[in-house]
């Protein structure tokens, strides 16, 4: 009898980003467990080509159709199929050789390919929190209907998932998501009024892409994670709490109805939650740096300041109202962050844009997928108008 697990065929959506590159590092460490079937990128053709030459997938997709010829000329002679465009991104989810899809693209762009992957019965390793923020009700219902497991990759949600192994029959009283507080923890609105993108991009603990780093600085990232957690773990908004923990050692906690709390600890390293999701239910060996209690004689916790960092409060408001409100929140924030990175709106002004969109875009209690798409488009148009 052969007890060796079968190789998992992986599609990595967003392979050139921070999560995608770290996922490929995990794959490289465990070639006996994983093979790469699909790699995709939005614009970074050069790195996509380099990755494809190393990992030899069946298919690559470059979403930016202007880069197709460059990628095809480099990979076509290597018997690697090359496609371009958003439709191709969704179509490759149908491949029989793909067992699991790691959704690591940034923002709303992850929704439609993730939905397509679920429709074709692929297990999902979800690093794209916006998929559940935008359409959590629709996505979780579809996953249940298709018998598809969604494994969280965000460090906080992975921590919750790890704490729940062996506890799924026990009711959760609440979960507690930890937040580093970002580079501006403890600062007041007067300070925040004049911060620059260079300051906001200096995260104290994590090395991430620009968009998520800005979201972390504004606490919107934690707000999006609150909404994602509600759908991943089937919770009411009142069962999700946030605590600021500047060291980022405890990645999140679960409190059960007997009052007991379980926590998952480790150094800030995204490869661990990525590897846990890709290899579940097995814990694969790793030589990542180990946490040493002697290096952290004290761990600190404090309540988030939701009056100063309004994005977190706006996220809780959107979650409590439900419907298409989280979709509006996400779309407005994506436009606001892009504008902040172009010096077109201030750090505090991003929250004004989000709040304005939540007030002005029409509320839909139970949106269809088409209505989510329309809400996203309407919100982006309004957000741009509010910035201009």
Residue 207: the pLDDT is: 63
- Choose among 126, 94, 115, 22: nearest CA to 83: 94
Residue 1: the pLDDT is: 45
Residue 229: the pLDDT is: 97
- Compute φ and ψ for 60, nearest 5 degrees: -125, 150
Burial 135-168 (b: 16+ CB within 10 A, else e): bbbbbbebbeeeebebbbbbbbbbbbbbbbeeee
Contacts of 50 (CB under 8 A, 6+ apart): none
Q: Is the pTM of this model over 0.75?
A: yes
Q: Can you give the C-alpha Rg of the chain in angstroms?
A: 20
Question: CA 345 to CA 338: how far, in whole Å?
Answer: 9
Residue 3: the pLDDT is: 63
In tens digits, the chain (388 residues) has pLDDT values of: 456 678 999 999 999 999 999 999 999 999 999 999 999 999 999 999 999 999 999 999 999 999 999 999 999 999 999 999 988 988 899 999 999 999 998 888 889 899 999 999 999 999 999 899 999 999 999 999 999 999 999 999 999 999 999 998 999 999 999 999 988 999 999 999 999 999 999 876 666 678 888 999 999 999 999 999 999 999 999 999 999 999 999 999 999 999 999 999 999 999 999 999 999 999 999 999 999 999 999 999 999 999 999 999 999 999 999 999 999 999 999 999 999 999 999 999 999 999 999 999 999 999 999 999 999 999 999 999 999 8
* CATH fold of 8-148: Rossmann fold (3.40.50)
What strands, in cross-sheet order, belong to the sheet with 172-179? Answer: 240-244, 172-179, 250-256, 261-265
Residue 209: the pLDDT is: 75
- Helix (H) / strand (E) element for 12: namely strand 8-13
Its CATH class, for the domain covering 322-388, is mainly alpha
Burial 204-219 (b: 16+ CB within 10 A, else e): ebbebeebbbbbbbbb
The answer to whether residues 193 and 351 touch, using CB atoms and an 8 Å cutoff, is: no
Cα angle 60, 110, 310 (rounded to 5 degrees) comes to 145
Residues of the chain with CATH 1.10.1740.10: 322-388
DSSP H stretches of helix in 147-270: 155-164, 189-192, 197-200, 210-218, 220-232
Residues of the chain with CATH 3.40.50.720: 8-148
């Amino acid at each position: 009898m052969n007890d060796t697990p079968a190789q998992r065929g992986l599609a990595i959506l967003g392979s050139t980003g921070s999560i995608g590159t770290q996922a490929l590092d995990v794959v490289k460490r465990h070639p006996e467990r994983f093979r790469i079937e699909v790699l995709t990128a939005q614009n970074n053709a050069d790195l996509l080509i380099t990755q494809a030459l190393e990992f030899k997938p069946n298919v690559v997709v470059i979403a930016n159709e202007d880069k197709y010829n460059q990628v095809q000329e480099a990979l076509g002679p290597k018997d690697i199929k090359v496609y371009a465009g958003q439709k191709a991104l969704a179509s490759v989810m149908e491949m029989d050789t793909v067992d699991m899809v790691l959704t690591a693209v940034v923002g709303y762009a992850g929704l439609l390919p993730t939905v397509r992957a679920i429709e074709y019965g692929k297990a999902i390793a979800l690093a794209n929190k916006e998929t559940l923020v935008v359409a959590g009700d629709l996505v979780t219902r579809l996953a249940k209907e298709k018998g598809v497991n969604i494994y969280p990759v965000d460090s906080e949600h992975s921590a919750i998932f790890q704490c729940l192994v062996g506890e799924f029959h026990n009711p959760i009283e609440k979960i507690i998501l930890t937040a580093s507080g970002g580079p501006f923890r403890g600062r007041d609105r007067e300070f925040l009024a004049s911060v620059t993108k260079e300051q906001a991009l200096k995260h104290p603990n994590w090395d991430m892409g620009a968009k998520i780093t800005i979201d972390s600085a504004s606490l919107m990232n934690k707000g999006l994670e609150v909404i994602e957690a509600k759908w991943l773990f089937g919770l009411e908004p009142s069962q999700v709490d946030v605590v600021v923990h500047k060291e980022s050692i405890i990645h999140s906690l679960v409190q059960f109805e007997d009052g007991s709390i379980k926590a998952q600890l480790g150094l800030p390293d995204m490869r661990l939650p990525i590897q846990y999701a890709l290899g579940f239910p097995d814990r694969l060996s790793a030589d990542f740096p180990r946490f040493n209690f002697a290096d952290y004689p004290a761990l600190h916790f404090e309540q988030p300041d939701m009056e100063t960092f309004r994005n977190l409060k706006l996220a809780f408001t959107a979650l409590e109202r439900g419907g298409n409100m989280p979709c509006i929140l996400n779309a407005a924030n994506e436009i606001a962050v892009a504008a902040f990175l172009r010096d077109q709106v201030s750090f505090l002004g991003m929250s004004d844009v989000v709040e304005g969109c939540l007030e002005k875009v029409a509320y839909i209690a139970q949106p269809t997928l088409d209505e989510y798409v329309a809400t996203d488009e309407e919100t982006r148009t309004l957000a741009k108008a509010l910035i201009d």
